[in-house]
Structure 1
Amino acid sequence: MRLDALTDDLPEMSTHRAVLTCVAESAQAADWTAPTLRRLLMGLRQVLDEHPDGQPVRLSRVRAVLGATPGSRLARTVLDGLSLLIDDTVPAIRTWIERQCDALPAGYRADVLAWLLVLAEGDERTRPRSTATIYAYFGRVRPHLLAWSETRGQLREITEDDVSQALNKLRGHALTGTFTSLRSLFQFAKRRRLVFTDPTRRLSVGRAPSRTLLPMTAEEIGAVQAAAVTPAQRLIVALAALYAARAKAIRELTLDDIDLGRHRIRLGGAEHRLSELAHNALVTWLKHRHRQWPHTHNRHVLVSWASAAGTGPVSNYYLSWHLLLQGVQLEQIRGDRILQEALATGADPLHLVMAFNLSPETAISYANIARSLLERPIETTEAPPEL
């Protein structure tokens, strides 16, 4: 489409003209279709016309007009890059927290709301926690709050015996996870003087039981092979299976990290020889990438219809959509690769550090697992700690 049709009435040096031009150029570089681009530009022009030239645009208005689409994300990226975007929206996690707390008994509502908001936003003593942590903490605490509410009207009435009785019904990771969550709640409440005493202060449940880690079975490997059928899926699996690459390293891999001629690849700060399998997977994907987005300026190896219009990596959800929702666990594949290397090299932790850029603690843990498997191949073993 002709951009002039939407910008003819705008001054040459207009900020609105600059925004529309930048969005159009980015979308065209990503090979968006003309109808899609036209809808995006018309919607964005509608948003811009509501604001004086050069004045920031409200994010809520962009979302209301353009919806949750790649075009909306592109428009937000351009506006933000030009310092023309005001985020006036309520974070999704805050909306979730408020909705969940509204359903709690009245005596607990305000205290739990304050606790969850500090977890989400942090304060002078606490860093913000991930949404996954907040979901997990609240999910473990909520059933006990509802049970206690039948005899206890508020947090300050809950005793050490109440907490002990609740914990005594649990085992394993449910026990340690629930204790951690309750301790977080009551420590917060004690600091804010919402309770007189912390009922978890003198309690202890010990360490969480060891998880198990064994080599992937033939059936599990076959399931991964059956699920990974697209060029993107095969490349992601190959990088995890051959180089034990984490999801973050795969997402951030750029064209500059690959030397097909020398058969070299740099992943997560470590350089590797590019095997024939990985070479073929890369070539297949890059051909597909060029067919789909021949004009994109994005230097990341993996691109999507959304990221091709910009320069950033694909989102975490991109990997989940391509793998996790298909039943493929990337971390399981990565762990299996490290374990197989440890088994093949005599459980040498130094070799694992050099081969996969692991921390010494993680390398030693994998080496211990491999040594235990070599000595007692039928026993389950302790999993390595998170990096």
Structure 2
Amino acid sequence: MGRPRIYCDACYGRQVHARQRRPRPIAGLRFAEIFDEPTGRAEQEVFERLFDMAHVGSWSVETLRRRGEQLRRVLAANPAGDPIPLSQVRAELGNIWQSRIVARVLDQCGQLVDDTETPTRQWIDRRTVTLPPAFRHDVRAWLLVLHEGEERARPRATATLHAYFSRAHAPLTEWASTRSHLREVTQPDVTAVLNRLNGHKRIGTFVALRSLFRFAKRHRLIFSDPTRRLRVGAAPSRALLPMTDDQVDTVTATVVTPMQRLVVGLVAVYAARANPLRNLVLDDVDLSRRRIRIGGTIHRLTEFTHDILTDWLTYRHNRWPGTPNPHVIVSADSVLGTSPVTDHHLTWHLSLLGIQLEHIRGDRILQEALSTNADPLHLAIMFGLSEKSATDYAVLARRLIQQPVEGSALEW
């Protein structure tokens, strides 16, 4: 196995920090030492649940009391004792971030009613209102079907909705000056829009418009699909720029927390993607036999990955010993349940520092290809790549071997 370039024990080693005064933990304290006597059975139940949640999350006394005050405010605004609407909780506490713990406690006690729309539905309403009236209703219905799915159509990711709408918005705005309905848009109209574009923007716009008009034809909003017989060819090759030594040094010097070291280390050694890392559970790790299963592929733990994994699991156990979450990577929020961390949590702090996991992953595969004579079969087996992806990396490695140009982007 080729040696990953991001492999610096000194940079990934244990960090020694000065002792800082930490808030007083709730471990060993009783319920009555923190909260006043609840006024009723329902209030007793929710405060006991909050107290249990604080133990699981290893909150400080100050944090628990602050959450308790927020909970009392919400309960005081609903003296009748009926289930509390989520919109009322958010209105009372100010925003979604402040209200999430209180809402979770009430929900687990059966005292919450979710009367809000999902953030994606709110986004759809906000964006479609900016469209010309001629297309507004039909485009909104299209986005809702993409979001929620329908018979024989699975829901699409929120990022897909954002991409499709951003590509379709400009053509729809242009057509609104001469067209009063989607059924009036013709094939020459679509062709004229596509001919002004090139590269990935051309491909992306065509895919978005094809999705919109297929939806409209399926639901009998138009008589014929103007994109049906159009072809725009294959997407152009993307450029992959191998990481420079300076970039590698920056990454190894930047990641300092146990979670950052684990995530970047697993990507740098096993070319793991973010989603399999988010869904990695404790049963996938076998420290005694030095094995780890990532995305269905079993890897041998090296000394490096064994050390960073042990460091993280030790930190995880010490920080949240009572969490029921079975996932290896957890956060202060996810330890209260059993769901994996969000992709936002996994990559946000790294992205702020300029660390792109996909760039590290691509560089790792490329370095392996260069060290094994660009063997696509070896790449497919080692990293669980598809036949096409393994071949693409092998071709790129051969190109680099034949024409090594320092600092140049190689197409693949």
**TM-score range relative to shorter protein:** 0.7 to 0.9
Aligned match of 1:385: none
Aligned match of 1:239: 266
Aligned match of 1:41: 68
Structure 2 contact 128–140 (Cα < 8 Å) conserved:
yes
Kindly provide the CA deviation profile for residues 205-260 of structure 1, in whole angstroms up to 9, marking residues without a partner as x: 11111212343222332332343233322221111001112212322334444444
Q: 2:411 aligns with which of 341, 366, 381?
A: 381
- Say yes or no: does 1:3 pair with 2:31: yes
Q: Distance in 2 between matches of 1:301 and 1:69?
A: 26
- Say yes or no: does 1:177 pair with 2:212: no
Aligned match of 1:122: 149
3-state SS of paired residue (1:323): helix
Q: Which blocks of at least 5 consecutive residues in structure 1 are unaligned?
A: 383-387
Shift of 1:80: 4.4
Amino acid at match of 2:117: V
Q: 1:165 aligns with which of 178, 187, 192?
A: 192
Q: Percent identity of the aligned residues?
A: 51
Q: Distance in 1 between matches of 2:36 and 2:337?
A: 22
Query: Relative to structure 1, is the Cα distance of residues 257 and 101 closer, same or farther in structure 2, using a 3 angstrom cutoff?
Result: closer
Kindly provide the CA deviation profile for residues 88-133 of structure 1, in whole angstroms up to 9, marking residues without a partner as x: 1111121221122222222222222222222222222432211111
Backbone CA RMSD of aligned residues: 2.9
Structure 1 contact 253–300 (Cα < 8 Å) conserved:
yes
Q: Residues 186-225 of structure 1: matches in 2 within 5 Å?
A: 186-225=213-252
Amino acid at match of 2:243: M
Q: Distance in 2 between matches of 1:335 and 1:295?
A: 37
Amino acid at match of 1:123: E
Structure 2 contact 214–225 (Cα < 8 Å) conserved:
yes
Q: Distance in 2 between matches of 1:77 and 1:339?
A: 45
Amino acid at match of 1:227: T
How many pairs were matched up? 378
- Say yes or no: does 1:312 pair with 2:342: no
Q: 1:352 aligns with which of 371, 379, 388?
A: 379
Shift of 1:361: 4.2
Structure 2 contact 70–102 (Cα < 8 Å) conserved:
no
Query: Relative to structure 1, is the Cα distance of residues 186 and 210 closer, same or farther in structure 2, using a 3 angstrom cutoff?
Result: same
Q: Residues 227-306 of structure 1: matches in 2 within 5 Å?
A: 227-289=254-316, 292-293=319-320, 296-306=323-333
Query: Relative to structure 1, is the Cα distance of residues 84 and 100 closer, same or farther in structure 2, using a 3 angstrom cutoff?
Result: same
Kindly provide the CA deviation profile for residues 130-183 of structure 1, in whole angstroms up to 9, marking residues without a partner as x: 111111111111111222222333323222222111111101100011011111
Q: Distance in 1 between matches of 2:392 and 2:111?
A: 49
Query: Relative to structure 1, is the Cα distance of residues 17 and 243 closer, same or farther in structure 2, using a 3 angstrom cutoff?
Result: same
Superposition TM-score, scaled by structure 1 size: 0.85
Structure 1 contact 40–71 (Cα < 8 Å) conserved:
no
Q: Which blocks of at least 5 consecutive residues in structure 2 are unaligned?
A: 1-28
Q: Distance in 2 between matches of 1:264 and 1:192?
A: 51
Query: Relative to structure 1, is the Cα distance of residues 256 and 190 closer, same or farther in structure 2, using a 3 angstrom cutoff?
Result: closer
Shift of 1:51: 7.5
Amino acid at match of 1:192: H
Amino acid at match of 1:159: T
Amino acid at match of 1:272: H
Query: Relative to structure 1, is the Cα distance of residues 65 and 204 closer, same or farther in structure 2, using a 3 angstrom cutoff?
Result: same
Structure 1 contact 156–196 (Cα < 8 Å) conserved:
yes
Q: Which has the higher contact order (CA 8 A, sep 6+)?
A: 2
Aligned match of 2:90: 63
Q: Distance in 1 between matches of 2:134 and 2:96?
A: 41
Aligned match of 2:5: none
